[in-house]
């Protein structure tokens, strides 16, 4: 499968329309099954959306992977986190060893874990961690841009290339994850820029900041926005100025999902902010974005609302790593089991339900 070398080519591929014929076929399949129409709610519309994305109502999600993009963020120097950047590297090694929370959840969900180094600080080549390094961590966004625009484009294209590689290997369902100390700060800054909201609305405690730490984090986001003045009409500018390598890479993953017609499960705040960047770059990318859960971070619900997506799970999760996205995979399995294997009205000898409006 060819890899897209230019942002413009990627956006063109991602902008192809959803297949409404396939969506209609999936809808008819659901309507034929012996159950009240639409009674499985989001599980039904989710598979219809997947059919429209993939172009087929014959759905299969038997090979799945979670892409966990890892990078460090210079803003950590502002005291916005409990721990230092060395934790990013330690957790990345934990992914490779299969020991982290997402690894254990992924094992239960029959999902491969693919850790990716997008720019972990001083991180050497490590067995089990795929290297897509854009830089050795980003700059401190309170002092200047996180990265150059060229680096942002490189990261986006690297994310799309990851999807191309997975699709070529037969993966038909992708989950998104991330690891990077300080990335709730960068994602809050990107969300504030894109949605024109103040830091007080979107900056949360992340991995458990004290009141003093939360105050420093809000100051850091305000200063980053004032210093860099990201252009909300230009998502690449926003990513380059106040984002992170992980965020830009995840943006590329969602664009790649649209380009290569692979459903991509958004995780929590960081990946949904990345999805919002992708959709702002290319509205057609929305067809590949599937919300798994709503993050407990303050901006979690607002970003999903901006995307027009409804989460499958509301569980107060905020761990990251892709845990929320992976937690939703069994719901995909159960939905498909009903969709593909449940008996029809004809088979059980029951008259089919007919759509009725209110008051009928």
Query: Among all residues, which ones are annotated catalytic?
Result: 321
Looking at beta carbons, which pairs linking 5-13 to residues 24 or more positions away fall under 8 Å?
5/157, 6/157, 7/153, 7/156, 7/157, 7/236, 10/156, 10/157, 10/160, 10/252, 10/255, 10/256, 10/259, 11/255, 11/281, 11/282, 13/258, 13/259, 13/260
- Nearest-angstrom CA–CA distance, 354 and 98: 49
Phi, psi at 168, each rounded to 5° = -65, -30
The CA distance from 188 to 185, in Å, is 5
Query: 250 is written with which tokens?
Result: 């995840």
Q: CA-CA distance, 294 to 296, in Å (whole number)?
A: 7
The two most distant CA atoms of the chain are separated, in Å, by 70
């Amino acid at each position: 499968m060819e890899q897209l070398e230019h942002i413009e080519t990627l956006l063109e591929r991602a902008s192809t329309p959803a297949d409404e014929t396939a969506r209609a076929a999936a809808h008819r399949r659901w309507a034929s099954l012996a159950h009240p129409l639409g009674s499985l709610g989001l599980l039904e519309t989710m598979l219809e959306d997947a059919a429209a994305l993939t172009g087929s109502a014959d759905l299969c999600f038997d090979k799945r992977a979670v892409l966990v993009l890892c990078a460090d963020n210079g803003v950590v120097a502002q005291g916005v986190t409990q721990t230092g950047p060395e934790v990013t590297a330690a957790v990345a090694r934990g992914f490779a060893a299969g020991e982290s929370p997402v690894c254990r959840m992924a094992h239960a969900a029959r999902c491969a874990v693919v850790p990716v180094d997008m720019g972990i600080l001083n991180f050497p080549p490590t067995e089990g961690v795929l290297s897509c390094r854009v830089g050795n961590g980003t700059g401190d966004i309170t002092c200047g841009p996180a990265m150059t625009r060229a680096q942002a484009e490189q990261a986006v294209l690297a994310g799309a290339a990851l999807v191309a590689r997975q699709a070529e290997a037969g993966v038909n369902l992708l989950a998104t994850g991330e690891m990077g100390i300080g990335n709730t700060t960068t994602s809050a800054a990107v969300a504030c820029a894109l949605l024109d909201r103040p830091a007080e609305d979107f900056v949360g405690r992340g991995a458990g900041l004290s009141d003093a730490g939360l105050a420093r984090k809000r100051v850091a986001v305000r200063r980053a926005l004032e210093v860099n003045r990201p252009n909300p009409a230009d998502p690449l500018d926003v990513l380059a100025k106040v984002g992170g390598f992980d965020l830009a890479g995840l943006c590329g993953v969602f664009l790649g999902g649209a380009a290569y017609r692979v459903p991509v499960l958004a995780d929590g705040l960081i990946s949904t902010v990345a999805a919002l960047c992708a959709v702002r770059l290319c509205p057609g990318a929305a067809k590949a974005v599937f919300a798994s859960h709503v993050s407990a971070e303050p901006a979690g619900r607002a970003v999903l609302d901006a995307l027009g997506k409804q989460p499958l799970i509301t569980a107060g999760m905020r761990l990251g790593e892709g845990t929320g996205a992976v937690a939703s995979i069994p719901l995909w399995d159960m939905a498909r089991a009903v969709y593909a294997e449940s008996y029809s009205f004809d088979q059980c000898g029951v008259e089919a339900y007919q759509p009725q409006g209110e008051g009928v």
